[in-house]
Amino acid sequence: MSNKRALISVSDKTGVLELAKELVKLNYEIISTGGTAKTLRDAGLTLKEVSDITGFPEILDGRVKTLHPKIFGGLLARRGDKGHDQDLEKHGIEPFDIAVVNLYPFEKVVTEQNLDEKEMVEYIDIGGVTLLRAAAKNFERVVVLSDPADYPVFLKELNDERTISYENRRRFAAKAFSHTARYDSIISAYFRERTGNTIDTDLFPNELTIGLKRIQPLRYGENPHQRAALYLQTGAGSGIWGLTTAKILQGKELSFNNYLDLESAWNQVQEFQTPCCVIVKHSNPCGVAVSDQLVDAYKRALACDPVSAFGGVIAFNHELDGATAEAMIKLFVECVVAPGYRPEAVEVFKRKPNVRVLQYPSRLTTPGEFDYRKISGGFLIQEKDYQISASELKTVTKRAPSVEEMLSLEFSWKIAKHVKSNAIILGKGLQTAGIGAGQMSRIDSLKIAHSKMSQSEPVILNAKKPLVMASDAFFPFRDCVDEAAKIGVSAIIQPGGSMRDQESIDAANTHNMAMVFTGMRHFRH
């Protein structure tokens, strides 16, 4: 009898039959469990079940089957160590050479099935996780395979060399530990999301894990000399969600920067229920508009800054129709994203096959989602930014905004949330007239916004609409108010909270401008 042994216990049976057949040819004895054993036996393979080794049956509806010294002793023993060899002989334990294990499909089930908590806990793997960790700990002696994609690589080396190199053993072990860590992070997120936040500290637990799985490598990162990859985060909201699951209908491969701009554009367009278009360049909007017709929203968004829109990313919040697609096809666009496309729109985009056309899934965000920022040695984690309701706005000037001004102020304030600080938005009706972003001085942002407005298309911007201004943070001085008056701004929305608020209020009153405080700022670094 061969003294080479392989333990095989898998939930995902992809490739396992082919692997087992090759191992049998190489004179390995197969030890297996439950469903895996049945699959291999039905294919005509001879094997032993774990219960044949342990002398103990599976119990508790299969909750306990591999948790036994004759299994874990065989995985953890340091062969050649005098004490370990004596223990093996004393207790009749035979060592394993290979462990092929993957886990109950907790992630798949939590994503695709609507099960209650009592049902979900039955998909939490205990024995499989322990088998992987034991084999990976002893990787110098036991080859651990947790990913079916590694089976061909493993078999090729085993056939060619009759052994597995130290480097590959260690690599397989690293994958096993990563696999169990991510698995536990998904389970942790599932329970964390159902616990509720009874006190503030519960929102940010002492220990927090983020489960990530690589979807694909990217051509490069922000710049060609930086390598990059796209990862999927799971667990949040008990499912798979967001931009990573968008359906790519056509176009070239998405780049690192494409994903950043798409995320920015989609987050902005979701602020509105009525047809909206957002055009983004380098993560900042260069034009946003809301209208009754999607094609009109696009034309108005483009009119704000047609120069910057060249090579941009465009997002819509309604199904994209043929008329809008026809209008867009005249502009060089990197990416388009919408919740759906009418057949005629799909045909229009086929005329520009390099344009990346994406369709978002129905699930865009998820409860309990955090905003993560990487810094050296760690992460900064915060809640997602949110908007206040219109009822919370406070008029602080002698003149209150007109109905038309207030609608435009509310619109512009929603855009300010998504513009890099310091941010100034000039709005006319339900469209941006000029955007100033990312400046060290707020007055400089205003000057840029005014410059952009001066270059916009005035006919489409509609000169009859009042000009309003939104600022993502308070005014430390009255200079922005005075400059705004010079360019025709009639109403301002800003957070307030400066020691010099009264100076800005006085300036607004002097110019007969309306000013509204939100009590909330929208810094975006």
- Between CA 244 and CA 233 the distance in angstroms is 9
Which pairs from 482-488 meet CB under 8 Å and 24+ separation? 482/507, 482/511, 483/443, 483/446, 483/447, 483/450, 484/446, 484/513, 485/511, 485/513, 487/426, 487/450, 487/453
Closest CA to 20 of 53, 50, 1, 44: 44
Catalytic residue from among 137, 213, 352, 465? 137
Strand-pair partners of 232 = 213
Cβ within 8 Å of residue 198, ≥6 positions away? none
Whole-angstrom CA distances from 321 to 162, 316, 347 are: 61, 11, 11
Please report, as a single letter, which amino acid is at residue 379.
F
Active site residue 68: no
Cβ within 8 Å of residue 52, ≥6 positions away? 31
Pair type for strands 4-9 and 28-32: parallel
Strand-pair partners of 344 = none
Burial class (CB in 10 A: 0-12, 13-18, 19+), 399: middle
State both tokens at 245: 């699951």
| Percent helix, percent strand, percent coil in the chain, to nearest 5 | 40, 20, 40
Q: Which helix (H) or strand (E) holds 466?
A: none
Active site residue 418: no
Catalytic residue from among 13, 282, 352, 420? 282
- What would the DSSP string read from start to end of 359-409? E--S----TT-EEEEEETTEEEEEEPP-PPPGGG-EE-SSSPPPHHHHHHH
Q: Which helix (H) or strand (E) holds 98?
A: strand 98-101
Catalytic residues: 137, 282
